[in-house]
């Protein structure tokens, strides 16, 4: 009997890791490839001029904030999509997908208008330096059209993951990465008689690759067996389902805005500490994005896997999966920390930086090793497991207290009142993820995330 139980347990673990790898690896790879697009842009602009990489880093805070809103809509809708998918209600999945598309496009349109019509105002928020404002203003006007495409593309990527076709998003990201690199080479540096556009060249390549990704996603959705939006889905509206969606999305939005605006405020703080600090911090941010792609993939996989089980009322199995993801988060964080510490002395070789900026960069990357360890645990457990059953409020609360009541006030005081050294300010403003760690396990053990959020068809009307 015990031998039979062990065999069942072993088979269950095998199924768990098989499903996790089928989700986490493609999603992680897609995140990595998207991050590589940013990394190659930063690398090529870094070889072009320090001002260009600094200005573009600050200008991209606009799309960063836009993605916080879209991420909340996609994340909240994705929780419901995963549970209804587990329940087997494909009609409801299609209707919710169409709702997410409408919201994502509306958000993209607003930020497109900001970048197109008031770019100089946006740049002045982040830096007082005229040269950076000039470069960033021109860049924002050029890149604005890409915002209209990227929000919709993220919705299609979500559906690919649910349908078990996450590997398709990897193919798309590989092609867009190669396309971006080739166009960047010609437009940034002006090869083969092409005009030398610098930062604007990077903007135009972003527009092209976002359009390519969207067209490819739409084409994939029309293949046999894929779920795609239709007119009935866009007309559909359910007060009850919309309420469910906002019940999950609004805390996610609160968390995203609290974290993201705080992260954007990092750029403001670094921007007021000078070009050296801005350049080093922007490159460190890109390195963090590259390193943490794995934990983001695991987090997305956790949300889908646990959500499907909860939609089927398989609470015991969902609890076991949650426990496994907690262990995985710890080891993932350790690996991320080791990688950043190893890469810290090497990264400076690839950028044209002043000696001061190089010193800042090495020290920032070393401290980031501790930061990404905490970030990995928070991302997998708090942003993956918890929201799968609707417990999205905790992330918003923890971000508010850790960032806005602790890390950011100290960093702002250090910058504008006490005139602390750059590295002291950087450590203070990145301490938020570390402060959250002691509170995760007590919240996990309350099991507020073990909930089935689906409704019957008559209740969804």
188 or 114, which is more confident? Answer: 114
pLDDT digits (tens, 9 = 90+) for 362-388: 889 888 889 999 999 999 999 889 888
- What's residue 256's pLDDT? 74
> What is the structure's pLDDT at 7?
46
Does residue 175 lie within any of the structural domains? yes
Give me the sign of the Cα torsion angle 246, 248, 251, 255. Answer: negative
Sequence-distant (6+) residues with CB within 8 A of 205 are 41, 179, 180, 183, 184, 187
- Asked if residue 457 belongs to a domain, the reply is no
Question: pLDDT band at residue 3, thresholds of 50, 70 and 90?
Answer: very low
User: Does some domain include residue 161?
Assistant: yes
Please state, rounded to an integer, the average pLDDT across all residues of the chain. 82
pLDDT, tens only, 287-346: 887 788 888 889 888 888 888 888 888 888 889 999 999 999 999 999 888 888 887 777
Q: So what's the pLDDT on residue 455? A: 65
Q: According to the model, what pLDDT value does residue 18 have? A: 83
Please report which confidence band the pLDDT of residue 185 belongs to, taking 50, 70 and 90 as the band edges: confident
What CA–CA distance (Å, rounded) separates 256 from 305? Answer: 22
Has residue 44 been placed in a domain?
Answer: yes
Average pLDDT over residues 451-458: 68
**Whole-angstrom Cα distance, residue 327 to residue 332?**
9
Q: Structurally, how many domains does the chain consist of?
A: 1
Alpha helices in 118-165 (DSSP H): 119-126, 130-162
Flag whether 326 is in a domain: yes
Quote the pLDDT of residue 215. Answer: 93
pLDDT at 461: 52
**Given this model, what pLDDT does residue 8 score?**
45
Phi and psi angles of residue 185, each rounded to the nearest 5 degrees, phi first: -55, -40
On the question of pLDDT at 101 being above 80, the answer is yes
In this predicted structure, what is the pLDDT of residue 380? 92
Q: Report yes or no on 10 lying in a domain.
A: no
| Residue pLDDT, tens place only, 395-430 | 888 888 888 889 889 999 988 888 888 899 999 988
Top pLDDT among 401 and 351 is at 401
Please state whether 273 falls in left (phi above 0), alpha (psi between -120 and 50) or beta: alpha
Report pLDDT digits (tens) over 215-248.
998 998 888 777 888 888 888 888 888 888 878 7
* Residue 49 belongs to some domain of the structure: yes
Assess if residue 9 is contained within a domain: no
Confidence of residue 274 (pLDDT cuts 50, 70, 90): confident
Reduced to 3 states, what is the DSSP secondary structure of residue 159?
helix
Return phi, psi of residue 266, to 5°. Answer: -55, -45
Q: What percent of the chain has pLDDT over 70?
A: 91
Q: What is the mean pLDDT of residues 256-263?
A: 74
- Quickly list DSSP for 38-73: HHHHHHHHHHH-HHHHHHHHHHTHHHHHHHHHHHHH
Enclosing domain of residue 403:
18-444
Q: How far is CA 57 from CA 110, 137, 310, in A?
A: 21, 12, 40
Average pLDDT over residues 66-72: 85
**Planar angle of CA 273, 421, 374, nearest 5 degrees:** 90
* More confident position, 181 or 38: 181
- Nearest residue to 454 via CA among 353, 309, 267, 325: 309
Instruction: Give the model's pLDDT for residue 378.
Output: 92
Q: Is the dihedral of CA 286, 30, 334, 391 positive or negative?
A: positive
Tokens for 166, please give them: 């996450």
């Amino acid at each position: 009997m015990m031998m039979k139980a062990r065999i069942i347990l072993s088979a269950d673990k095998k199924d768990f890791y098989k499903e996790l790898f089928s989700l986490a690896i493609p999603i992680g790879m897609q995140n990595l490839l998207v991050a590589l697009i940013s990394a190659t842009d930063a690398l090529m602009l870094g070889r072009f001029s320090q001002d260009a990489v600094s200005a573009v880093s600050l200008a991209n805070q606009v799309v960063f904030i836009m993605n916080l809103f879209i991420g909340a809509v996609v994340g909240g809708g994705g929780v419901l999509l995963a549970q209804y998918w587990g329940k087997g209600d494909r009609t409801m999945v299609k209707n919710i997908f169409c709702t997410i598309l409408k919201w994502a496009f509306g958000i993209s349109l607003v930020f497109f208008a900001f970048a197109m019509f008031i770019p100089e105002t946006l740049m002045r928020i982040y830096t007082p330096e005229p040269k950076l404002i000039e470069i960033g203003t021109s860049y924002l006007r050029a890149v604005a059209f890409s915002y209209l495409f990227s929000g919709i593309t993220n919705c299609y990527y979500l559906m690919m993951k649910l349908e078990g076709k996450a590997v398709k998003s990897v193919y798309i990201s590989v092609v867009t990465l190669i396309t971006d690199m080739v166009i960047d080479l010609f437009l940034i540096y002006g090869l083969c008689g092409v005009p030398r556009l610098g930062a604007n060249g990077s903007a135009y390549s972003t527009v092209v690759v976002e359009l390519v990704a969207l067209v490819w996603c739409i084409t994939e959705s029309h293949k046999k067996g894929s779920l795609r939006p239709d007119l009935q889905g866009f007309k559909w509206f359910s007060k009850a389902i919309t309420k469910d969606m906002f019940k999950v999305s609004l805390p996610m939005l609160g968390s995203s805005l609290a974290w993201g605006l705080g992260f954007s405020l990092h750029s403001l703080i670094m921007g007021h500490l000078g070009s050296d600090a801005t350049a080093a911090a922007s490159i460190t941010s890109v390195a963090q994005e590259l390193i943490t792609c794995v934990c983001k993939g695991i987090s997305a996989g956790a949300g889908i896997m646990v959500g499907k089980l909860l939609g089927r009322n398989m609470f015991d199995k969902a609890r076991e999966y949650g426990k496994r993801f907690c262990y995985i988060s710890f080891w993932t964080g350790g690996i991320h920390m080791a990688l950043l510490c190893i890469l810290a002395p090497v990264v400076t070789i690839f950028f044209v930086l002043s000696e001061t900026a190089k010193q800042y960069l090495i020290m920032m990357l070393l401290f980031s090793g501790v930061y990404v360890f905490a970030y990995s645990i928070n991302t997998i457990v708090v942003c993956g497991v918890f929201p799968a059953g609707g417990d999205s409020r905790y992330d918003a609360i923890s971000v508010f207290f850790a960032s806005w009541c602790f890390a950011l006030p100290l960093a702002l005081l250090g910058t504008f009142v006490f005139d602390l050294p750059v590295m002291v300010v950087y450590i203070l403003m990145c301490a938020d993820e570390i402060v959250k760690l002691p509170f995760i396990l007590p919240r996990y053990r309350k099991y507020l995330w073990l909930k089935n959020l689906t409704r019957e068809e008559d209740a969804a009307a």
